[in-house]
Structure 1
Amino acid sequence: MATISKSTLASRLGWLLALWAASVGTLFVFACLMRLLMRAAGLST
């Protein structure tokens, strides 16, 4: 069974964290744009 060195594990966790942060940031920007468009169309409460 192959063992994973700490540097490789840290690198993989770093990439996982970076991808997660990028996806959350992208969803946040998309949600803000949708809110802006809906408010511009008069769809606010």
Structure 2
Amino acid sequence: MAGKDYLNDVQACEKKPLWQRIGWLVLIWTASVASLAVFAMLIRLFMTAAGMKSH
């Protein structure tokens, strides 16, 4: 009966305060944007080291 356990988990999550749920959303979004920025800077660093420049 995995469906019943899932329903209980969803109901437990909905009992958390709205600010806490929005806080997690903002935290995950910020972490994903930061990791994308780091990845882009690494690619730019490697491309510059290989002799490719933007101008």
For this structure pair, what is the TM-score category when the shorter chain's length is used for normalisation? 0.7 to 0.9
Task: Indicate yes or no: 2:18 matched with 1:18.
Answer: no
Task: Indicate yes or no: 2:48 matched with 1:39.
Answer: yes
Secondary structure of the residue that 1:35 maps to in structure 2? Answer: helix
Instruction: Give unmatched runs, 5+ long, in structure 2.
Output: 1-13
Instruction: Give unmatched runs, 5+ long, in structure 1.
Output: none
Instruction: Select the structure of larger CA radius of gyration.
Output: 2
Question: Which amino acid in the other structure matches residue 43 of structure 1?
Answer: M
When the two chains are superposed, the root-mean-square deviation of aligned CA atoms in Å is 1.5
Please name the residue that 2:17 is paired with.
8
Superposed structure 1 runs of 4+ greater than 6 Å apart: none
Q: Percent identity?
A: 49
The structure, 1 or 2, with the larger RCO (C-alpha pairs under 8 Å, 6+ apart) is 1
Equivalent pairs, count: 41
